[in-house]
Structure 1
Amino acid sequence: MWFKNIKAYQITQPLSFNDEDLERALNEQAFRPCGSQDVATMGFASPFSQAGKTGAMFHCVQQRFWITVKKQEKILPAAVVNAELDEMVAKIEMETGSPVGKKAKADLKQEIQTRLLPQAFTKNSYTHGFISLSDNLVVIDASADGKAEAFLALVRKAIGSLPVVPFARHSLQSELTHWLTDSTPEGIALLEEAEFKSTDDAGSVIRCKNQPLDSDEISIHLDAGKLVQKVAFEYQDTLTAVIAEDGSLKRIKFTDRLKEETEDVPKDQVEARLDAEFALMSAEICTLMTFLQKALNLNEEKL
C-alpha cells in the first residue's frame, strides 16, 4: 500500500474516534453494487478489499486511520448511445417526414440509456486515505480535487463532522521559486524537472525535464519573472515527488531502501504485509507533511 499522489488537509479542531462507533458509522455508508438503473454508486469498503480480503471498514496504526472508498460506475460509451439515437431519429424522420426536435432527441437519448444501462459493464475504482489524529492531517491518495472532495464528503456524512482546510491555503509559487533562486530546505534535493508560469496576462507556461534547474536556461525564465508551478524533489532518501503550487504531491515514488523494510513479511501474508506497508508509508508521509508545513511557513496561517 503505497500512495502515488497526495491531497492533504489540516484538521482544524481536535478529533477522536471510538472504534466501535467509527465501524458502525462507516458500515452505514458501506459500498453497494450498482442496481440495474444506477449510473454509479459509492461507499466505504474494507481497506483490504482490493486485495481480495474482507475485514473491518477501517484499519488503524498508531492513531492513523486508513479508510477506503469504493466507487462503481456503469460503462456506457457515448458512441454506442449516439449510434442508436441516429438510427431512431432517421427512422422517425423517414416515417413522419419531419425533423425530430431537440427535446424529442433528448427524450430518445434518455430512453436508450435507460434500456442499455442494465446491460452495461461496470468499472470499480478505489480511493484510499487516512486520518492522522496525532498530526491533525487528512491525507488522500488522489490527483484531482474532485476525487479528494468526494472522499471527504462521504467521510463527513458518515461521522457527522470533519473540520478541515486545505494543506496550503494560498499559492506556493513564491516559496517554490525561492527554492530555485535562493536555497532549498535541509533535507530537500531538487531534481531535474519543473514547470514555470509567467505572471502576465499571457500566462505562458514552460515545462522542463532532464534539465538542471541551476542552468542558464532556467535562470533566464526566472529572471523574466516566471514563477514555479511545480518542481520535482527528493526528500531525505525516502521518496521522490512533484510538489505543485497548491500543496499537492504527485508521482510519489518511495525509495527501494524504504520499501525493503517490509521485505521480511512473507508475500502470502497479504494483510500483514499491507499493515506493515501502511504503517511505514503513513509515518513517512506524516513526517514529510509536517516538514513541509514548517519549510513552507504554512503554520503561520492560523487555524
Structure 2
Amino acid sequence: MWFKHLHLYRLHGAPELDTARLEEALGEQAFRPLGGSEPRRLGWCAPAGRAGTQLLHELQGQRLITALRQERILPASVVREEVDERAEAIETAEGRKLRRQEKLTLKEQVYEELLPRAFVRSQKVDLWWDTRRSLIAVNTSSRKRAEEVLDLLRETLGSLKVTPLASQTLPMRAMTAWLGDPGARPADLVLGDQVELKAKGDDGVLRARQVDLDSDEIQQLLEGGRQASKLALGLEGRLGFVLHDDLAVKSLRFDDALIDEASQADDGDDALVRLETDFLLMTQALADSIERLLAWLGGEAQSSQDAPSV
C-alpha cells in the first residue's frame, strides 16, 4: 500500500460527489479485460485487489482509487523480422521489388495478425485524492502515466481541472542553494546521499549515490556552474524522498516508526482494514510532508492556479 513515487496536482473547483455517487461513476468506467485486437486499455479496479470489490476507499476526507492499465507488448523487432520475411517471399515469387506503400500495408497486416498473440502487461496505478486540501497525487514514476490516469478520472467525473503543483521558488534553484550552503537549509530538512547535477552547457548530467553531499567534490561541481535537478531529502521522523526539478517526489521511504505504528494496529487479520489503516497513516504523513516541502520552497506559486489544466 505504501506509495513509491508521486506526481502532485492542485485541484480547482472539484465536483461535489459523495462516496456513493463517486463509487457509481467509477463503476461505469471499471476495467474490462483487453479484447483480442486492442493494443491497450485503462479502467478502474478495486484498490484491495482480490481482497475486496469496492472501487473507492474514503477515510477522513482521503480518497483512494486505483486504475488498471493493460497493454500488449509487441516488439518492433518482431514485426520488422516478419515483414522482411514476407516481403522477401513476395519479391522472390513475383520477381520485383515491393514499393514503399506496399511494405507499409504489409507492416499493418503483420501488426494486426500478431497483436492478439502478444504478451499482455498489467500495471496498477493508485490515485490519492485529498478532498480537504484539494490535492491529487498519482503513485507512478511516469508523468505520462499520471496524466493518463487523470484523463480517466476526468472522463469518469465529466470534468476535472487540475494543474501540476508549483512552488514560489523553483525546485532546482532551492536544491542548488541547500546543497551549496548549509545555512540556507530549513531547520527540519535532512540532506540525503543522492544527487543529480546538470550543467548549463553540453557537459551532460552527473549522478551520484551514497555520497557525502557536503564533500569538497560536490562543492567544486557547484562552483563550476552545475545545478541540482534531483536531490535526496528527508523530513525527520516522517519520510525520505528524492525531489525532482518538476516537484515530483520519488523513491519514497517512510520512517520505521511510522511503519511500526501501522504494523501494530489491530486489523483483526482483515485485509481491507489493513489497507485502510495503512492508507490513512500514510496520507497523514504525506500531507504534512507536502505542506512542509512547499514551505521550504517559499509556498505554493499563485501562477499554478492560472496554468493550463492537464
TM-score past 0.5 threshold: yes
Q: TM-score, normalised by structure 2?
A: 0.91
Distance in 1, Cα, partners of 2:14 & 2:25 = 19
Contact 1:15 1:133 in 2 (8 A): no
Is the counterpart of residue 43 in structure 1 residue 47 in structure 2? no
Question: What amino acid sits opposite 1:84 in the alignment?
Answer: E
| 2:169 corresponds to 1:177 | no
1:235 to 2:235 alignment: yes
Distance 1:119 1:8 in 2: 37
- Tell me what 1:301 maps to: 302
Does the 8 A contact of 1:16 with 1:133 survive in 2? no
Calculate the aligned-residue CA RMSD, in Å.
1.8
Alignment-derived partner of residue 258 in structure 1 = 258
Residue aligning to 1:291 = 292
Cα distance in 2 between the residues matched to 1:266 and 1:165: 37
Where does structure 2 lack aligned partners over 5 or more consecutive residues? 306-310
| Letter matched to residue 216 of structure 2 | D
* 1:197 alignment counterpart: 198
The CA deviation at 1:15 is 4.8
| Alpha-carbon distance in 2 for matches of 1:11, 1:203 | 38
Deviates more, 1:144-153 or 1:186-195: 186-195
- Judging changes above 3 Å, is the alpha-carbon distance between structure 1 residues 27 and 150 closer, same or farther for their aligned structure 2 residues? same
Question: Aligned letter for 1:223?
Answer: E
Indicate conservation of the 8 Å contact 2:14/2:160, yes or no. Answer: no
Kindly indicate whether the alpha-carbon contact (under 8 Å) linking 1:59 and 1:66 is maintained by their aligned counterparts in 2: yes
Cα deviation, 1:256-292, whole Å, max 9, x if unaligned, reads 2211112134694221111111111111111111111
Amino acid at match of 2:153: V
Of 173-182 and 163-172, deviating more is 163-172
Determine the structure 1 residue equivalent to 2:98. 100
Closer/same/farther in 2, CA of residues 296 and 160 from structure 1, 3 Å limit: same
Query: Once the two structures are superposed, what CA deviation does each residue of 1:41-78 show, in whole Å capped at 9, x if it has no partner?
Result: 111111112xx233221111111111111111122233
Q: Is 1:194–1:232's contact at 8 Å kept on the other side of the alignment? A: yes
SS at match of 2:132: coil
243-252 or 79-88: bigger deviation: 79-88
Q: Given the superposition, is the C-alpha separation of residues 29 and 203 from structure 1 closer, same or farther in structure 2, using an over 3 Å criterion?
A: farther
1:70-81 equivalences in 2 (<5 Å): 70-81=68-79
Query: Which has the larger displacement, 162-171 or 281-290?
Result: 162-171
Residue identity over aligned pairs, in percent, reads 31
For residue 209 of structure 2, what is the aligned residue in structure 1? 209
In 2, distance between residues paired with 1:77 and 1:181? Answer: 45
Match of 1:162? 160
Moved >6 Å (runs of 4+): none
Range moving further from structure 2, 233-242 or 130-139: 233-242
Paired with 1:66 and 1:282, the residues of 2 have a C-alpha distance of: 10
What is the identity, as a one-letter code, of the residue corresponding to 2:148?
A: A
Letter in 2 for 1:192: D
For the residues of structure 1 that align with 2:86 and 2:113, how far apart are their CA atoms? 14
Whole-angstrom CA distance in 2 between matches of 1:248 and 1:43: 24
* Greater mean alpha carbon deviation, residues 148-157 or residues 215-224: 215-224
Residues 131 and 203 of structure 1: is their aligned pair in 2 closer, same or farther, counting only changes over 3 Å?
farther
Give the aligned partner of residue 115 of structure 1.
113
Aligned partner of 1:220 in structure 2 is 220
Partner of 1:5: 5
Read off the aligned partner of 1:101 and give its amino acid letter.
Answer: R
TM-score by length of 1: 0.93
Gapped runs of 5+ residues in structure 1?
none
Q: CA deviation at 1:188?
A: 1.4
Alpha-carbon distance between aligned partners in 2 of 1:224 and 1:27, rounded to the nearest angstrom: 55
Q: What CA deviation, in whole Å up to 9, does each residue of 1:227-261 have, x standing for no partner?
A: 11111012122221110111001111112221111
Shift of residue 300 of structure 1? 4.3
